[in-house]
Structures are given as structure tokens and as C-alpha cells.
Amino acid sequence: MSAHINFLVLAGGAGTRFWPLSRRSNPKQCLELYGSKTMMEQTIDRIKHQSSKAQRYLVYGDHLRHQFESSDALSIVEPSARNTAPAIALGALIADHFDEGSAIAVLPSDHFVGENEAFSSDIILAAELALTGMIVTIGIPPTRPETGFGYIKKGVKIDKGFTVEAFVEKPDFKTASQYLMQGNYVWNAGMFVFTYATLIHEIASQLPKMAAGLSIIKTALVEDPAKSWTDVSEHVLETIKTEFQNFEATSIDFGVMENAENIAVLPASFPWSDLGHWAAMSEVLDPDENQNINHRKSGETFFYNASDNVVSISSDRFVALVGVKNMVLVESEDAILLISKSKCQDVREVVAHLKKTNPNLI
Amino acid sequence: MSAHINFLVLAGGAGTRFWPLSRRSNPKQCLELYGSKTMMEQTIDRIKHQSSKAQRYLVYGDHLRHQFESSDALSIVEPSARNTAPAIALGALIADHFDEGSAIAVLPSDHFVGENEAFSSDIILAAELALTGMIVTIGIPPTRPETGFGYIKKGVKIDKGFTVEAFVEKPDFKTASQYLMQGNYVWNAGMFVFTYATLIHEIASQLPKMAAGLSIIKTALVEDPAKSWTDVSEHVLETIKTEFQNFEATSIDFGVMENAENIAVLPASFPWSDLGHWAAMSEVLDPDENQNINHRKSGETFFYNASDNVVSISSDRFVALVGVKNMVLVESEDAILLISKSKCQDVREVVAHLKKTNPNLI
């Protein structure tokens, strides 16, 4: 069986952490970091059998129109970047309007999912729970004391999951280690399933300006004869543009989830990685016998006395690594990055430098 | 004053240690590793004021003809590669034939010399000593316990230098440290000054086949009307080709120097580096405040939390090094090399691999 689900894929991420491969106009979700499809294409493939094209929405900013206009999903272009809560609320309103009462699954577009069937089963479980009036987050059971993610503290067991006792900000290492040992915390991976009715109830009490704007947009949609999102009139789009700029610019976690009633968490049963930086490539690609990751379509990489490195080469030129360990070497058409694995977060320092000196490269 | 000197520049070195910049057809001496001229051009510049073009000879193999044919020196193309003794003996015979009795200075073409005036003064001193019948080597006072060079043990002080007590093979680290402390050892840098009369005396006693061949070539030269090396007849060239292949294929050190009588060493008064590998670039180029060497003509290299690295980039693309230390990163048109500074000798393993798999790249 399959629950009645609409998918809202957040596709607007900038993803500078995969610079120089990722760029403002070609962010992480548009890269083929594993497999022969982009992460966005893989995300869509993963939900295709659970939805028609009219039930799949991508939400993103205008600068990414060239990337997704012809994808196998409908596009909702944000009038401006106002964080995740406005984007999700608008998307949920639209999805619900054209498929009333359905479960709406919010998904990132740039995460790795290891087993699509397990993912689909979890989505179905979450949707069933969502249709009972819960906001359901899918949490990732932690495998390391990660300090880069928010955590969700599980409460009591309920049918198909747990209540949420608390959303917790990124912890320090000691706290993260405790969470890992205690076993009652999961990572917040930004995956939520709910009905619009449940969401608007929370928005009404927590984000009054957004609630008012959504109400005006809903009226415009109701008065519009369009039977699908692709056919709505200029008037609807103009109304969205006008109202959206008044929405509270906040994240879905902070603006809605942290204080929501009736919130549940379902521990994921699928392998997952947020692929948050270059070093994480070792979580999604098979290494050689010396734990080197070689990410390229053509050309040879020769490793000699080299171990635990990540290489990503866009050209077909010959590359040799000799006597090096824990290095990340990336070549794009117009840049080369050499960064130590443990410093991958500092790629943002390069991007910050380029913002001032050579913005064409970001 | 200036002694009467002919220069014999050994230009045939393969220099795979600067791969991927150095190639079989574009070896180290043809690279601009420091300054805006190739090492060969700088070598010629260094001796220009002490010689006419007719007194400067480059000795190399046929595969380098395209590199040196139009250089400001005369070319002696070796009929085949038979190590340094045959090349030097043939070159010395030719130089002496057209400028009889002169001092002949044998120089490498791919070493760094820091002060040209000091170098010229040393050459003059060595030439004066050579004209008294000595074979004079210019030795480099060691600055570290280097295990990659042969050493020369100084004997008693003589006018302008020392007698040579022994030529010593590459020592182990402990021995090299002792040499450094004792102070009576210098590095063998492959620079020799002698007259042909002195050299042929040694060859006659140590390398009989070479002596016989040289005698036949000398006869051909004497019978030839040419007043300069560039005008010799086909018969001379054919005679050289025939006789050269019978010369003992040995090095000048092993074949001649180690057992020579009347050999002297003059400690060099100029800064010197053999630039034996990529890490040595820090000996000849000015580092930034974090001891990074940036070898490129155009484009930016951005260092962030990076120290003691060597970067050589042929293109103008942007390069960033983040959080790395003691790395060598080299980009040529068709290859990228990442090697740790302490493993620079292992670039030969890359070349050996390519010899089997992709000889176009060496």
C-alpha cells in the first residue's frame, strides 16, 4: 500500500562546502558526488514510485531556475531567500491546495540515502502517523559523537515512533558523546512529514504574520480556476510575491518544530549521510585498499604510499599522490583545492576570500 | 684578468625528479625553476663574459636537439648515451683541438648558483690551477648531513686549494653528520677544470679503449680543414660516431677522478644547490611569511593555515591550500602531482609507473 503523499524537496541550498565543484549557480544538489546522477536526480528517483509529477515540488531561488526547470517535478520559485520556514509553509500550502488533506513530506535534496526501499517504508510510516495529526520528523540514529548536527531527544514510545521530548542545538563533543551512549537521541536530518492542517495550526500560534499571508495566498488560489500549480494565474504569483516578503524569516526548526505540539520522531531505518564536506565522500563511495576515495569520471589517479585521501578530479588529466595521508585534492575547471581532511569546514574561508577578490569563482 | 677557458656544459640530464614539469624532451635544465630564464640559459649567462660562443660547448643527446640547437653555444650531440666520461672526453678533445692548451671547465647545466661573480672567480682560480697540470674539482662546503651526494675528502693545503685525499661514495646519515662536523669534506658537485693534456694522460692509463678512440678522432680532426667545430666534415662526425660506441661507458668520477694523480679540490665560495627535487625549491625561491613557496607566472595561490609548502602551477587557475603543511603540489598541462616534501625522491615511482602505463607523460 502507499499513503497519499506530496513531496516538498528543498532545493535552494548554496552548498559552498563542496567548492570548487559546488558554486552558487551549481550547488551541491546539482553535483554527481556519487553514482552517475546528481543528488537532486537521485532524490527525485527515490520518491518517483510514491508520487505523480504533480505531487512532487522543488522549492528554490530564482538563480537555480536553469538547473531545475526541466526536472521531473513542479517548481516553486521563492520570491526571495527567507530561510526554511517560509519556503516550507508556502510549498505545503500549494501542495495541499491541489491535493487536499494529503501527507506532505519535506526532504532535503543534497543528502545521501543508502537504501531506497527502507527510505520509502519509513516515509510511508511517517505519512500514516502524520495523517493522525502529528508532525513527524525522521531522525537518524547517531553513529558517532557528531557536533555538527542538531539532535532530537526521544520521549515515550508511540505507535510507529516516539514522542519528541526536545529539539537540541548542536552539542559540544562531550555532550555529543553522552547522547551517543545514552541511545535516546537521534540526528535532526531536516526530514518532516505533516498535513497542511497540522502545520497551519502551529504557524497560526507561532508565526502570526506568516499565517496571515498564507491565508491571503490561499484565498487567491481558491479564486483561481487552475487545476494544477503549473497553471495558476499571474495574480496568484503576484499575491505570493507580495505576501512572502512579510513572512517571518526563520528556520522550520526554530520557528515551528521546537515549540510544536503533537510532534513525533521516527528513527530512520536507512543508511544516511548529509555529505556535509569533502571528507564525507568516504561515507558514500567505495575506497581502494588503502582507504583512498577516487572521484572522477575519466583519467587515472595513481596512489603510491598514499592512504585515506579523497580525490575529486573534473578533467581527465593524470594525477599522482605520493606519500600523503588524510588529504583532500579537488580539481575543477578553474580551480584546485588542497585541504586536509580534518579542516574541510575551512573551505568556507576560501569562499569568503573569493567573495572579496574573485566572485566569479564562487 | 681572465684565464683562457673553454666551457663544456653537460646538458643531457633526464631530470625526472621535477616531473610533471620535467619530461624526457623537456628536462630540468630547460625549466624556469627560478627567475625568468631556464636553468640552461642562466648557466650560459654565467659564463658568457669569460668565453666566446666558440668556447662554449653543450653536450647532450639527440632527443634534446630541439632545445639547444639555437642556444648561444656550440652543440656536441652524443652519438649515444654512454654516461659522463665519454661525453666529457669527447667534448674536451674537441674544445682543445680548436683552442689548444686551454683550461676546460666541465659544468652541470641544472644546478643553482647564487652569486655569479664568486662563481667566476672560483672558475678562474681553478683554471689557473688546471694550467699547472692539476685536475681541479670545485667542491661545495656542506651545510647539512646530506646523504644524496658523493663527498671529496680534502688533503693538504696547496696553492689556491687542497689536494684530494679521496672521493667518497654517498654516505649514510651518521657518516654524513661526521663529515659535516669534521669540516674536511666537501660535496662533489660535478664541476671539474683541467687541460686536455692532463685528462688524456689519465684516460690513457685508466680507460685504454677511450684513449685509442680519442686518438683516431684527433687524427680525423687534424686532417680536417675546419677552423671551428661547426664546420667539421661528415667524415669527422662519422669517425666520432664509430669510435664513441667503443668508449668505456662509465662516469667521470669512477672512470677517471677516483684514481687520478694530481687532483685538487677548490672549495666553492658561491651559494649552490643541486635543486635535486621539488622540496629544494625552498633553497632558491623566497618563501612567504609562512614558508610557502609559490612557483607560478600568473594566477593566485591562496594559503590559509598552510605552511612550509611548495606549489608550482603552470596554468593561471586559482589554487587554495588549507590546513596543510610540508606538501608539494605541482600542476602541469597534463598532470597533477601531490607529494609530501619528505618523499620527493619517490616521484621516480610515478615516472616508473608511467613508463609502463602511459609513456607519453614522461
Residue pLDDT, tens place only, B216-262: 999 999 999 999 999 999 999 999 999 999 999 999 999 999 999 99
Dihedral sign for Cα atoms in the order B333, B338, B340, B345? negative
Contact between A164 and A265 (Cβ < 8 Å): yes
Is residue B208 left, alpha or beta, with left meaning phi > 0 and alpha meaning psi from -120 to 50?
A: alpha
**Band of residue A159 on the pLDDT scale cut at 50, 70, 90:** confident
**Band of residue B1 on the pLDDT scale cut at 50, 70, 90:** very low
Nearest CA in chain B to A299: B335
pLDDT tens by residue, A71-82:
999 999 999 999
Helices in A294-333 by DSSP H: which ranges? none
CA distances (Å), origin A209, targets A59, A203, A283: 21, 9, 42
In the CATH scheme, what architecture does the domain A5-273 have? Alpha-Beta Complex (3.90)
**What residues have CB less than 8 Å from B221, skipping those under 6 apart?**
B93, B94, B97, B232, B236
Contact between B11 and B69 (Cβ < 8 Å): no
State the average pLDDT over residues A95-100. 97
* Separation CA A55–CA A58 (nearest Å): 10
Q: Inter-chain contact B323–A304, Cβ cutoff 8 Å? A: no
Q: Which residue in B135, B181, B178 sits closest to B158, CA to CA?
A: B135
Residue B278 is inside which H or E element, if any?
none
Distance from CA of A335 to the nearest CA of B (A): 5
- The pLDDT mean for chain A works out to 95
Model ipTM?
0.91
DSSP state of A65: H
* Separation CA A147–CA A149 (nearest Å): 6
pLDDT tens by residue, B10-45:
998 777 899 999 999 999 999 999 999 999 999 999
User: Which amino acid makes up residue A162?
Assistant: F
**What residues have CB less than 8 Å from A238, skipping those under 6 apart?**
none
How big is the A-B interface in CB pairs under 8 Å?
A: 118
**Band of residue A3 on the pLDDT scale cut at 50, 70, 90:** low
Cβ contacts of A327 on chain B, cutoff 8 Å? 324, 327, 338
By Cβ distance, the residue of B318, B342, B354 closest to A358 is B318
pLDDT tens by residue, A261-309:
999 999 999 999 999 999 999 999 999 999 999 999 999 999 999 999 9
State the CB neighbour count (10 A cutoff) for residue B184: 12
Distance from CA of A150 to the nearest CA of B (A): 26
- The pLDDT mean for chain B works out to 95
pLDDT at B159: 84
A42 pLDDT exceeds 80?
Answer: yes
Is residue A291 left, alpha or beta, with left meaning phi > 0 and alpha meaning psi from -120 to 50?
A: left
**What residues have CB less than 8 Å from B145, skipping those under 6 apart?**
B173, B176, B177, B179, B180
CA B294 to chain centre: 25
Q: Inter-chain contact B340–A323, Cβ cutoff 8 Å? A: yes
Burial class (CB in 10 A: 0-12, 13-18, 19+), A200: buried
List the single best residue of B336, B343, B345, B351 to mutate versus A (max A Cβ within 10 A).
B336
Q: Inter-chain contact A336–B322, Cβ cutoff 8 Å? A: no
B contact set with A (CB within 8 A):
20, 300, 302, 304-305, 313, 317-324, 327, 329, 331, 334-340, 342-343, 346-347, 349-350, 353-354, 357-358, 361
State the CB neighbour count (10 A cutoff) for residue B156: 7
Q: Which residue in B193, B231, B233, B239 sits closest to B214, CA to CA?
A: B239
A contact set with B (CB within 8 A):
20, 300, 302, 304-305, 313, 317-324, 327, 329, 331, 334-340, 342-343, 346-347, 349-350, 353-354, 357-358, 361
Q: What is the DSSP string of B78-133?
A: ESS---HHHHHHHHHHHHHHHSTT-EEEEEESS-EES-HHHHHHHHHHHHHHHTTT
**Band of residue B3 on the pLDDT scale cut at 50, 70, 90:** low
Cα angle A80-A85-A91, degrees, rounded to a multiple of 5: 75
pLDDT tens by residue, B273-311:
999 999 999 999 999 999 999 999 999 999 999 999 999
Cβ contacts of B337 on chain A, cutoff 8 Å? 319-320, 322
By Cβ distance, the residue of A305, A335, A350 closest to B343 is A305
Q: Inter-chain contact B334–A327, Cβ cutoff 8 Å? A: no
Residue entry with cell 684513449 = B211
Residue entry with cell 685508466 = B206
DSSP state of B35: T
Q: Inter-chain contact A350–B320, Cβ cutoff 8 Å? A: yes
* Separation CA B44–CA B260 (nearest Å): 29
A15 pLDDT exceeds 80?
Answer: no
pLDDT at B315: 95
B76 pLDDT exceeds 70?
Answer: yes
A2 pLDDT exceeds 60?
Answer: no
State the average pLDDT over residues A313-324. 97
Burial class (CB in 10 A: 0-12, 13-18, 19+), B249: middle
pLDDT at B16: 85
What does the domain layout of chain B look like in residue ranges? 5-273, 278-361
**Band of residue A324 on the pLDDT scale cut at 50, 70, 90:** very high
**Band of residue A16 on the pLDDT scale cut at 50, 70, 90:** confident
Contact between A67 and A26 (Cβ < 8 Å): yes
State the average pLDDT over residues B76-98. 96
State the CB neighbour count (10 A cutoff) for residue B157: 9
Contact between B11 and B78 (Cβ < 8 Å): no
Name the phi and psi angles at A236, rounded to 5: -60, -45
Q: Inter-chain contact A346–B305, Cβ cutoff 8 Å? A: yes
Cβ contacts of B323 on chain A, cutoff 8 Å? 339-340, 342-343, 346
